[in-house]
Structure 1
Amino acid sequence: MANTIASVVLGGFLVLLVYLYNLLVLKPKNLRAKLQRQGIRGPSPSFLVGNIPDMERILQHRRLIHSTPTTATEDYPTAISGDWPSIVFPYLEEWKNEYGPVFLYSTGIIQQLYITDAEMVKEICLCTSLDLGKPSYLSKDRGPLLGRGIFSSNGPIWVHQRKTIAPEFYVEKVKSMVKLMVESTTSMLTTWERRFEDEAGGIADINVDDDLRGLSADIISRACFRSGYSQGEEIFLKLKTLQGLMSKRSIGVPGSRFLPTKMNRAIWKNEKKINSMILKVVKQQTESSHEKDLLQMILEGAKSNKYDNDGRPIKIPWEEFMVDNCKSIYFAGHETTATTASWALMLLAAHPDWQARARAEVLEICGDRPPDANMLRNMKTLAMVIHETLRLFPPTVFVVRTALEDIEFKGIMIPKGMNMQIPIPILHRDRDLWGPDAHKFDPERFAHGIVGACKTPQAYMPFGVGSRVCAGQHFAMTELKVILSLVLSKFCFSLSPAYHHSPVFRLVIVPENGVCLRLWTA
């Protein structure tokens, strides 16, 4: 009997060893080999950690070189729109220079195919096959923030979520939200005006990014969940904390997300609290209101029957469906828009000629009236400014996809399981695509739309690409127009001497030191 038990244990141990060897060694090695045989190269990975040590070493070296943030005494028009991606992601620039526009690297055991070849990017963007999905690490390593929501799921689950959420952001729906966007923005600007009362000379320095984050949170809450920022304030603050923690944790190192480190314990604590608060809001809202807002639609989607391509039911606990999609909307719906608004105001402050031009357009179209949907549609200059802001400071850094089956792009066979990574800010600054002034702020390049601005229009992707393009992009553009038009109509502004320009990666690109503006009444 003892021999039998020992044999079973030994057999199980051997099976486990074979499984781990395949997972940790053979699978990553075979994926790389299939691309290496096609001429794709990259830095050699280390066991378990991949190229993470190389990334940290290169990043530390670059930080020593660029240790001082850009200050307001320097040439801002050049400095603020300069090559910040090479400072934030120096390892990508170094490897691109060494291995070309398509190369391999690893984060832990996760294999990444980095792609900046314009034609290959175009093919990926135009691909609508469900064989091209989101990487599994988004729902695992980034699970506390994204879970299995619309940004990280694949196949029938994603299709069901898209059909549930996307209709709430159609053009006609967004038009009906303009009034509340104006109300929320006007309320914020009133608080700014009060600050002038305590300042001599009618000039005030205001750090705008926190206010804009609160404003955007209020708008998404009222527009989609019938509640104000005050009700969801703690959720937003916890999400911001969770976002900061997640941006510091490397992905792909086997087992690292399960270790009870100080960071992981903080992530688990925040995740648990956020999930609990979201379910509490869901309960309160559904008990007090039966209006068909986004929250109700998500709830109906969570409780409705879902089936895969073979007609088999998909089992997702309704609580998980609700929490994951609410977190996704809370995060994407306020963080990315608020950050873009901050960058836009910063760029307009640094380029007073474009600020004056955009203000003149707003005053001509609106006069002394608040903007409505028709007015917003006619703000062409403001649209150009927003597009150029999204080009220079896209809130989402990477378009990421994984090959769910073998798939070919530009003659390269991408093996099943390989992840693809398209760096948006690097493509947005490619001189071959945008011209020799690609690093400069020039909204005029969008005078004839995206097609007229870029040689390969698919390379402009602030809202993602293909069938996975952001469902809320029209909502975001409308909100940005409302915020910027109202700020321009009430204030003139320049960069405060206290502003230090230092973009950093916090899952989105944010101003590390905030955006401090000097404002006075227009």
Structure 2
Amino acid sequence: MLIESNYKEIEEDHGRKKSGMSFEEVIEECKLFYLAGQETTASLLIWAMVLLCMHPSWQTLAREEVFQVFGNHKPEFDDLNHLKLVSKILHETLRLYSSIPVLTRATYKETKLGEISIPPGILVSLPILMVHQDHEYWGDDAEEFNPDRFSHGLSKASSNNEVSFFPFSWGPRICIGQNFALMEAKLTLAMILQNFTFELSADYVHAPTVGITIQPQYGAHLILHNI
């Protein structure tokens, strides 16, 4: 679709030099599709499964909800919104192991943040992981897995009214794929819970490492059992 759209734009502009995207730009866009559309969701799913292995009572509750909503039938899109507990688990996973650990923005004009004036051309880093586990916002159990903190919605999950949960960024540059990513993750996790119980292998070493996304440094060795 991207290539067809780009070709059409170049054709309509009669092949002018600055019309459309270059071959290199198309490749870069495809890399972005992979990173934003697959790698981040895969990271969310693997950490959700690891956490459900570490907290088997939550795994049991999640599976009970999935069977209550779908039974043994293939999950339907229209019913995904009924998976309230699974949604809380995914949000808590994103809080503890946000797929992207840091957001970076560049100022294009002089910008004032509180009492600080930032000149144009400065890179500003937003440390998602630090904010998501800040005790001031999330309480004494900020580093613990507790999906119930999202029982009253995202805006009331933390102890303040400020933006303290932003795994998909925030504001006008918020990720346009967040709803799709959460739907995809919810659907996949529901199907896994329908068909398997899972536990951590004795070989598993808990060592999250930060790259472009947060990955288990030594892999995530899970044992799945058919239901």
1:304 aligns with 2:5: no
Of 482, 497, 508 in structure 1, the residue corresponding to residue 187 of structure 2 is 482
* Correspondence list, 1:99-118, <5 A: none
Residues 302 and 322 in structure 1, CA contact (< 8 A), matched pair in contact too: no
* Deviation for aligned residue 1:349: 0.5
1:402 aligns with 2:106: yes
Name the CA distance, whole Å, in 2 between partners of 1:302 and 1:351: 51
- State the partner residue of 1:469: 174
- State the partner residue of 2:56: 352
1:361 aligns with 2:65: yes
Aligned residue identity for 1:359:
R
Superposition misfits of 4+ residues, deviation over 4 angstroms: 313-316
Residues 384 and 444 in structure 1, CA contact (< 8 A), matched pair in contact too: yes
* Correspondence list, 1:67-466, <5 A: 296-297=1-2, 299-301=4-6, 303-304=8-9, 315=19, 317-454=21-158, 455-466=160-171
Name the CA distance, whole Å, in 2 between partners of 1:515 and 1:298: 36
Name the CA distance, whole Å, in 1 between partners of 2:150 and 2:20: 43
- State the partner residue of 2:225: 520
Name the CA distance, whole Å, in 1 between partners of 2:145 and 2:35: 27
Name the SS of the counterpart of 2:193 in structure 1: helix
Higher helix share: 1
* Deviation for aligned residue 1:457: 4.9
Residues 80 and 183 in structure 2, CA contact (< 8 A), matched pair in contact too: yes
1:351–1:513 Cα change, 3 Å: same
Residues 9 and 19 in structure 2, CA contact (< 8 A), matched pair in contact too: no
* Residue deviations 1:371-420 (CA, integer Å, cap 9, x gap): 11122111000000000000000010111111111111112111111111
* Deviation for aligned residue 1:500: 0.5
Name the SS of the counterpart of 2:155 in structure 1: helix
Aligned residue identity for 2:30:
C
- State the partner residue of 2:197: 492
- State the partner residue of 1:224: none
Name the CA distance, whole Å, in 2 between partners of 1:302 and 1:415: 39
Aligned residue identity for 2:210:
F
Name the CA distance, whole Å, in 2 between partners of 1:437 and 1:378: 27
Residues 424 and 461 in structure 1, CA contact (< 8 A), matched pair in contact too: yes
1:322–1:359 Cα change, 3 Å: same
Name the SS of the counterpart of 2:99 in structure 1: coil
1:398–1:319 Cα change, 3 Å: same
Name the SS of the counterpart of 1:453 in structure 2: coil
Name the CA distance, whole Å, in 1 between partners of 2:196 and 2:161: 37
1:461–1:369 Cα change, 3 Å: same
Unaligned runs of 5+ in 1: 1-295, 306-312
Name the CA distance, whole Å, in 1 between partners of 2:6 and 2:82: 36
Residues 100 and 167 in structure 2, CA contact (< 8 A), matched pair in contact too: yes
1:400–1:354 Cα change, 3 Å: same
Name the CA distance, whole Å, in 1 between partners of 2:164 and 2:175: 15
* Deviation for aligned residue 1:521: 2.5
Name the CA distance, whole Å, in 1 between partners of 2:108 and 2:225: 54
1:447–1:415 Cα change, 3 Å: same
* Deviation for aligned residue 1:478: 0.9
Name the CA distance, whole Å, in 1 between partners of 2:65 and 2:37: 27
1:298–1:410 Cα change, 3 Å: farther
Aligned residue identity for 1:505:
V
Structure 1 length-normalised TM: 0.41
Name the SS of the counterpart of 2:172 in structure 1: helix
Aligned residue identity for 1:361:
E
* Residue deviations 1:256-303 (CA, integer Å, cap 9, x gap): xxxxxxxxxxxxxxxxxxxxxxxxxxxxxxxxxxxxxxxx14531465
Aligned residue pairs total: 220
Name the CA distance, whole Å, in 2 between partners of 1:433 and 1:297: 41
- State the partner residue of 2:215: 510
Structure 2 length-normalised TM: 0.91
* Residue deviations 1:453-507 (CA, integer Å, cap 9, x gap): 0224522111112221112111110111111111111111221111011111221
Residues 303 and 318 in structure 1, CA contact (< 8 A), matched pair in contact too: no
Residues 302 and 321 in structure 1, CA contact (< 8 A), matched pair in contact too: no
Unaligned runs of 5+ in 2: 11-16
Over alpha carbons, which structure has the higher Rg?
Answer: 1
* Deviation for aligned residue 1:320: 3.0
